[in-house]
């Protein structure tokens, strides 16, 4: 079985928990998620199966879309609703100030990850150090926030925010940074991942649906690659392609394209000095 499962993760289990469950259901060893999702969050969790795992590096940093809930005036050690309260600070809602704060965080920036994260520090998970009272030394990471939009005020100090950002962006850190812009503190009180690359809630499956009919939930290898152009290799080069022989090409020097020969999908390739090179071999 090769391809992807766009699982709809419920609140509670970790992304790794979902992988373990699916490995048991599918009886598949080669399986992994394409970007973690906090236990307290729900929504889209793309899972690569079989040869789909070869595309991890290509897909993991694709754009993400979230609907988040930010609570201001209180801070927790984990920056979400599951942590211990560590600070309270006055907060009075001003719509213009909120919109300006959100707008100021759009664009490329160096973001400091939460102390409670799965990032490694000298081989140790940051959350392991944080639980021991040690502040992990986490360097800022380059991320891009494409849009931050105020949807509505849910309660006096709770707000619904729509976010579109690059992979690797921490929404909890966005909440912390927005709060700082507003002169207060805050934590993420809810999170739904609406989309991850080409995977969205619209074509997601629940774990129960996978258990009942796994084949119907597996998307083809080409599903998240439809935005890429395709190149058709002449049938006479089939054997050369199979043997890894360089094949001349006149295709434009674009980043990547889908490669087909005799109607078969071979993977992703590019033009390198006039020859086709398969960067991701998926046969």
Do 48 and 197 contact (CB within 8 A), yes or no? no
Using CA atoms, how far apart are residues 19 and 34, in angstroms rounded to an integer?
11
Do 13 and 42 contact (CB within 8 A), yes or no? no
Listing from the earlier edge strand, what are the strands of the sheet with 264-272?
230-233, 257-261, 264-272, 275-281, 247-248
Place of tokens 């929504």: 43
Angle at Cα 213 formed by Cα 265 and Cα 23, nearest 5°? 75
Q: What is the DSSP string of 204-215?
A: -B-HHHHHH-HH
Q: Are strands 120-121 and 107-111 parallel, antiparallel or unpaired?
A: unpaired
**Is 177 annotated in the active site?**
no
Q: Of 243, 235, 245, 272, nearest to 257 (Cα)?
A: 272
Place of tokens 């490694």: 120
Q: Are strands 120-121 and 124-125 parallel, antiparallel or unpaired?
A: antiparallel
Q: Which of the residues 2, 17, 38, 255 is marked catalytic?
A: 38
Phi and psi of 215, rounded to 5°?
-60, -35
List the catalytic residues.
38
């Amino acid at each position: 079985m090769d391809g992807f499962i766009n699982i709809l993760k419920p609140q509670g289990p970790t992304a790794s928990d979902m992988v373990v469950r699916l490995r048991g259901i599918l009886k598949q060893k080669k399986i992994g998620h394409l970007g973690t999702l906090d236990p307290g969050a729900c929504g889209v969790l793309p899972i690569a199966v079989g040869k789909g795992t070869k595309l991890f590096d290509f897909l993991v940093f694709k754009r993400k879309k979230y609907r988040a809930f930010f609570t201001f005036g209180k801070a927790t050690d984990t920056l979400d609703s599951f942590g211990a309260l560590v600070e309270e600070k006055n907060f009075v809602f001003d719509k213009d100030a909120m919109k300006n704060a959100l707008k100021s965080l759009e664009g490329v920036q160096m973001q400091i990850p939460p102390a409670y994260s799965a990032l490694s520090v000298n081989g140790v998970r940051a959350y392991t150090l944080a639980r021991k009272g040690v502040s992990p030394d986490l360097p800022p990471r380059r991320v891009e926030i494409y849009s931050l939009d105020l949807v509505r005020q849910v309660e006096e100090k709770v707000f619904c925010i729509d976010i579109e950002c690059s992979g690797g962006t921490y929404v909890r850190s966005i909440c912390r940074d927005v709060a700082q812009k507003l002169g207060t503190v805050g934590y993420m009180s809810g999170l739904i991942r609406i989309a991850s690359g080409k995977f969205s809630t619209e074509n997601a499956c629940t774990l129960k649906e996978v258990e009942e009919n796994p084949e119907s939930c597996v998307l083809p290898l080409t599903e998240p690659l439809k935005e890429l152009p395709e190149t058709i290799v002449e049938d006479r080069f089939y054997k050369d392609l199979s043997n890894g022989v360089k094949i001349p090409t006149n295709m434009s020097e674009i980043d990547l394209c889908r490669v087909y020969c005799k109607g078969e999908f071979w993977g992703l390739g590019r033009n390198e000095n006039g020859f086709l090179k398969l960067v991701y071999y998926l046969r």
